[in-house]
């Protein structure tokens, strides 16, 4: 089954959420190799194989990024939400729908291994609740929680990694191959294997490092980039399913939406606390819901609580969500302090002040009637960004008196033009 090129390209960033690519990118940079160095990729591949073979003898089990840890009938259950070989099929123009269906078959096989009596509906209740047949519910049923998430209530998310977790003797087969077959110096081969091992253990946790209901996901960092760079991705621990949520009934569409909103609220906050942000595509793939539903839930949450959950769309302006720059100015005009705004949009107070200072500059230029065409050169910012601020000026400042009042509150002294 095939799909249109544009549809497949939408899922291309999933291909970057790969440990081997992450290792290759970091080693290429560290050892000053070509960006897609075959040597770096081979060093990573050999190191990963050496670790897996050594740990198999030690009865150590790890999870790959995108694998969900659960317990079923007293047994450890690992369900892949992301699978490297299946995701690679997107390169061959296989539709995302077909890949997801193959992934569901694999998940069901894993569940049956732990619980032979499990049905497909049991799998759906764990990770794909949108497949369940749900009632419409009563008029007035709400999807919103009673109060917003208090991030202080989230448990510790950092994993305790043992020093020198992978001993040199475990990496020796990889080091020897790099020296004998690839011509690397012994010191260089050992350095590359050690770096690859550190990245591997960070991205692939041991079973005992996570709680049931958790997974590690390679999330985009909070630094913005124009290009897909594997080095921008880092592992974050996400709590997809709590014990309470696993037992909670899902009977109506409102129950379903409330459950998904709780998950979005929690995992976006968890990623942010670990210096990562989740894209709409991440949320779609992890939660098994459509982009339209994700957008609806985020907008309802923001409208009700005045809090912008920290997704890539809000933090990095990736996607079609309302930009954080616009929200910062709107909140400031509503009288919120810098600290209050920072808490509501998951930004630092310094970042909030930077957005407000730029708006002040745009408002000053409008006050002094600077031509719009000159503003990009004066500020060093793009026309598109400045248009966001200019639209806010038109919306909130109908005359010069309103501008003077606001700028005066901001401590900016104005000189009347002669």
State the pTM of this model.
0.80
Please measure the distance between the N-terminal and C-terminal CA atoms of the chain and give it in whole angstroms. Answer: 71
Q: Cα 50 to the chain's mean position, in Å?
A: 30
Query: Cβ–Cβ contacts within 10 Å for residue 25, how many?
Result: 23
State the pLDDT at residue 63. 96
Is residue 276 a contact partner of residue 220, using CB atoms and an 8 Å limit?
yes
State which residues of the chain have pLDDT below 50.
1-7, 162-164, 319-321
Task: Give the CA distances from residue 303 to residues 117, 299, 372, in Å, rounded to whole numbers and listed in that order.
Answer: 44, 6, 32
Distance CA 178, CA 193 (A): 9
pLDDT at 321: 47
Give the length of the chain.
418
**What is the structure's pLDDT at 10?**
73
The number of angstroms, rounded, from the C-alpha of 49 to the middle of its chain's C-alpha atoms is: 28
CB of 243 within 8 A of CB of 105? no
Q: Which residue in 154, 80, 134, 100 sits closest to 258, CA to CA?
A: 134
The structural domains of the chain, with segments of one domain joined by +, span: 5-132+149-285, 323-409
- 3-27 confidence digits (pLDDT tens): 344 445 677 778 878 999 999 999 9
């Amino acid at each position: 089954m095939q799909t249109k090129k544009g549809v497949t390209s939408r899922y291309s960033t999933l291909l970057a959420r790969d440990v081997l690519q992450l290792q290759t990118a970091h080693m290429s940079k560290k050892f000053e190799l070509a960006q897609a160095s075959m040597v770096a990729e081979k060093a990573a591949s050999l190191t990963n194989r050496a670790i897996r073979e050594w740990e198999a003898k030690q009865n150590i089990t790890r999870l790959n990024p995108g694998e969900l840890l659960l317990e079923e009938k007293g047994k450890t259950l690992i369900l892949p939400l992301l699978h490297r070989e299946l995701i690679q099929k997107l390169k061959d123009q296989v539709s995302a729908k077909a890949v997801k269906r193959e992934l569901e078959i694999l998940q069901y096989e894993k569940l049956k291994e732990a619980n032979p009596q499990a049905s497909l509906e049991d799998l759906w209740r764990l990770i794909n609740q949108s497949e369940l047949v749900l009632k419409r519910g009563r008029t007035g049923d709400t999807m919103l929680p009673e109060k917003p998430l208090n991030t202080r209530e989230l448990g510790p998310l950092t994993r305790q990694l043992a020093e020198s977790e992978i001993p040199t003797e475990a990496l020796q087969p990889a080091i020897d191959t790099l020296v004998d077959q690839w011509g690397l110096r012994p010191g260089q081969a050992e350095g590359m294997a050690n770096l690859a091992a550190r990245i591997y253990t960070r991205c692939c946790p041991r079973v005992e490092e996570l709680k049931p209901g958790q997974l590690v996901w390679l999330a985009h960092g909070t630094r913005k980039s124009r290009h897909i760079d594997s080095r921008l991705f880092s592992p974050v621990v996400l709590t997809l399913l709590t014990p309470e949520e696993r037992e909670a009934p899902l009977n109506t569409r409102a129950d379903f939406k409330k459950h998904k909103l709780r998950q979005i609220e929690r995992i976006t906050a968890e990623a942010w606390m670990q210096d990562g942000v989740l894209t709409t595509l991440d949320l779609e793939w992890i939660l098994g819901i459509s982009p339209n539903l994700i957008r609806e839930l985020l907008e309802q949450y923001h409208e009700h609580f005045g809090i912008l959950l920290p997704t890539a769309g809000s933090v990095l302006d990736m996607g079609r969500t309302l930009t954080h720059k616009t929200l910062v100015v709107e909140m400031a005009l509503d009288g919120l302090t810098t600290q209050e705004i920072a808490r509501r949009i998951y930004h630092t107070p310094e970042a909030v002040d930077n957005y407000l200072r730029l708006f002040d500059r745009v408002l000053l230029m409008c006050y002094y009637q600077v031509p719009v065409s000159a503003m990009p050169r004066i500020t060093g910012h793009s026309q598109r960004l400045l248009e966001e601020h200019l639209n806010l000026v038109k919306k909130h400042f109908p005359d010069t008196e309103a501008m003077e009042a606001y700028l005066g509150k901001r401590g900016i002294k104005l000189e009347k033009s002669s």
